[in-house]
Amino acid sequence: MTTTAARKRDLLSLADLSPTELERLLAAARHLKAQPRGELLAGKTLALLFEKPSLRTRLSFEVAMAQQGGRALYFSPAEVGLGQREPVRDVARVVSRMVDAVAVRTHEQEKLLEFARFASIPVINALSVREHPCQGLADLLTIQERFGRLAGLRLAYIGDGNNVATSLMLGAATLGMQVVLACPPGYEPPAELLALARARAAAAGGMVTLCHQPEEAARGAAVLYTDVWTSMGQEAEAEQRRRVFAGFTLTRQLVALAQPTAIVMHDLPAHRGEEIEDEVIEGPHSVVFDQAENRLHAQKALLIALLNPASSFLQPE
């Protein structure tokens, strides 16, 4: 994880985690799922500064803190106004004097990076335009639960190369998965993050490839993953994106091309009938709601690692 000051660690990207750290974090999440309640966060306070609406992210962070004896304080988009009501650097320094960690959910990546630079407490990326690492942790946990491993599995991501795709790609590559992304031309993940993922995959014995045909990605896949075509903040592009992404719906026909034991994933909320058929999200291959639950367990492991070093599951390499 990113170190920005002595004894302070941030999670802004899954690229902040080494393979060993990521494996240990997932192991901790499995342990905490089996034994969810404790006092490992007793006396700790987490601030949630959200400039975007949230269901799973807010709920999972608040419940994670409560189940381990801590507390979370939520600040809505109207209350935050990073860079509008007051400078980002001022908010970061004030919050750092009063709580133990902060999760920031924002539009601009620059705000997140500036906040982390001026904060003296751990900063967690609770979603930015570039990445969604907390979702990626839950995704990897879900896949590992189902198959007992990650390395060597073929993961097909079908749709927009957005923040969810980027974090999933980085995490899967780090642990040696075979990642195939099927995106319309011009809607791939950022080139520099794609290059980073490919380098990580090569080091771990995995692979990251791009294609423009959903059928090519789905064929032989162990995991089929999709997300909305229009993310928060892109509403003005919705109609154009529907035209561009026509043919990228995760259908029963695509599921039939995958392995018989394949799982279907979506980070929610879903636009049923758009990026995924209702019959698929409700079908026997779907693990969508296991995936949603695993946000709680993965984030609990992350919070303990950041806020309770004596009990941290992320030991120095």
Instruction: Round to whole Å and give the CA distance between 255 and 222.
Output: 10
Residue 133: name the closest of 47, 44, 17 by CA.
Answer: 17
What is the pLDDT, as a whole number, of residue 312?
Answer: 52
Element (H, E) at 102: strand 101-105
Element (H, E) at 61: helix 56-67
At CA 299, angle to CA 298 and CA 300, rounded to 5? 90
Instruction: Round to whole Å and give the CA distance between 102 and 183.
Output: 33
Q: Which domains does the chain have, with CATH numbers?
A: 2-132+295-311 (3.40.50.1370), 135-292 (3.40.50.1370)
What is the pLDDT, as a whole number, of residue 79?
Answer: 83
| Per-residue model confidence as pLDDT tens for the chain (317 residues) | 655 444 689 999 999 999 999 999 999 999 999 999 999 999 999 999 999 889 999 999 999 999 999 999 999 888 877 878 889 999 999 999 999 999 999 988 999 999 999 999 999 999 999 999 999 999 999 999 999 999 999 999 999 999 999 999 999 999 999 999 999 999 999 999 999 999 999 999 999 999 999 999 999 999 999 999 987 666 778 889 999 999 999 999 999 999 999 999 999 999 999 999 999 999 999 999 999 999 999 999 999 999 997 765 555 44
Residue 226: name the closest of 243, 245, 201 by CA.
Answer: 245
* pTM to 2 decimal places: 0.95
Rg over CA atoms, the chain: 19
Instruction: Round to whole Å and give the CA distance between 112 and 131.
Output: 11
Q: Quickly count: other Cβ atoms within 10 Å of residue 251's Cβ.
A: 17
Q: Where are the alpha helices (DSSP H) in 74-153?
A: 77-80, 88-96, 109-118, 133-147
